[in-house]
């Protein structure tokens, strides 16, 4: 609260940003730069790469647990590893198909 009993003086006018002549700021308004060729290429495979990463992480966790499992649980974990490897193979094939498609587009 100002010392002069609540009266707004010239020195207190600027306390919320800007002056009367220049009230506040602008900001923003800049145009986004066009994505570089490299970032476009990286983004092409992002979805497939994310899925592959998820599968590989689950596979690693399953492999780590194999030493602690016995009998039916170990058998189930091994079967899960085989399923994950099949999923990984399918995703790699999908990525190869996408790469072929993008190659054709880039050459056109």
- The helix or strand, by DSSP H or E, that contains position 88, with its residue range, turns out to be helix 71-107
**pLDDT greater than 90 at residue 103:** no
Instruction: Say how far apart CA 68 and CA 85 lie, in whole Å.
Output: 21
Query: What's the mean pLDDT in 20-41?
Result: 56
Q: What pLDDT, on a 0 to 100 scale, did the predictor assign at position 28? A: 54
Tell me if 77 sits within 8 A of 69, measured CB to CB: yes
Query: What's the mean pLDDT in 56-69?
Result: 95
List pLDDT tens digits, range 68-102. Answer: 999 999 999 999 999 999 999 999 999 999 889 88
Please tell me the pTM assigned to this model. Answer: 0.58
CA 73 to chain centre: 35
For the chain, what percent of residues have pLDDT higher than 90? 46
């Amino acid at each position: 609260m100002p010392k002069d009993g609540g009266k707004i003086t010239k020195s207190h006018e600027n306390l919320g940003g800007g002056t009367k002549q220049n009230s506040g700021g602008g900001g923003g308004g800049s145009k986004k730069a066009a994505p570089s060729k490299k970032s476009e290429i990286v983004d092409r495979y992002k979805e497939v790469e994310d899925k592959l990463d998820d599968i590989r992480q689950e596979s690693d966790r399953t492999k780590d647990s194999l030493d602690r499992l016995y009998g039916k649980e170990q058998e189930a974990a091994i079967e899960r590893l085989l399923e994950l490897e099949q999923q990984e193979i399918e995703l790699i094939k999908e990525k190869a198909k996408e790469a072929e498609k993008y190659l054709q587009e880039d050459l056109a």
